[in-house]
Amino acid sequence: MGLPKIDQPLFEITVPSSGNKVKYRPFTVKEEKILLIAQETGELDQIILAIKQIINNCVTDIDVEKMPIFDLEYLIMHIRGKSVNNEITFTIKDPDTEEEIELSVNIDDMQIKKDPEHTKKIILNDEYYMMMRYPTLNEISALQMNDDVSETESAFRAMISCIDVLVKDDSDEVYNFSEFSASEITEFVEQFTGTTVAALQKFFTTLPQMKYAVPYKDNTGKKKTFNLEGMDTFFT
């Protein structure tokens, strides 16, 4: 007679970008090994692969490849909370005193921060506007790991990759950018004015993020704050 399979508890969570509720389970020893091996390598591509594997294994009814990075950050943190515990303890070095300080944070207190000025709608003129989509983990990592292009070129590619559709106002005309070639899109984007580029930059700089400010005191008694952001928290 074989050993029995252990049923895992299921939990429900709301995906920040869509508001949809999905079910997830804690990660098991198998998935924890995947994570630990990726952490030991210290390589970004391995860590990204591990995160995608764990979320794919533990969360139902999602497409990891299409999810915004802040959704994945939120999900992996909450999976970790149900798998280990809700408290993350880590050590930082104070930038002024250089002392090592131990901090802790409750995962349930960490939420996605949304800038009230953020919008996915980019107005081109009185006739057309574009709707953006949020960058995925693959797109962000590709930009970070590509040392062969300049920062300006990377930013330009990010803009292009996240344009979803072009819409003609007060009509049914919709141009889906996935249906056009890279050269066609580049030619179109090169027509943008400085105002449009500024609006695109604002879209990226105001993206929703998982942030949490942890208060602490240094050895002189001075009150300070350490800011946690995204998956950096998970791999601290």
Closest of 206, 64, 203 to residue 141, by C-alpha? 64
Percent of the chain at pLDDT > 90 equals 45
Q: What is the pLDDT of residue 90?
A: 85
CA-CA distance, 122 to 186, in Å (whole number)? 17
Above 60 in pLDDT, residue 118?
A: yes
How many Cβ atoms are within 10 Å of 55's Cβ, its own excluded? 21
Above 70 in pLDDT, residue 149?
A: no
- Is 198 exposed, middle or buried (CB count within 10 Å of its CB: 0-12, 13-18, 19+)? exposed
Amino acid at 212: Y
CA-CA distance, 172 to 231, in Å (whole number)? 40
Q: What is the pLDDT of residue 47?
A: 82
Q: Once rounded to an integer, what is the mean pLDDT over residues 130-155?
A: 74
Above 80 in pLDDT, residue 140?
A: no
HSE (side-chain half, CA atoms, 13 Å) at 59? 28
Question: What residue has token string 């449009």?
Answer: 196
Strand partners, 123: 129
Closest of 185, 124, 125 to residue 156, by C-alpha? 185
139-143-144-145 Cα dihedral, nearest 10 degrees: 100
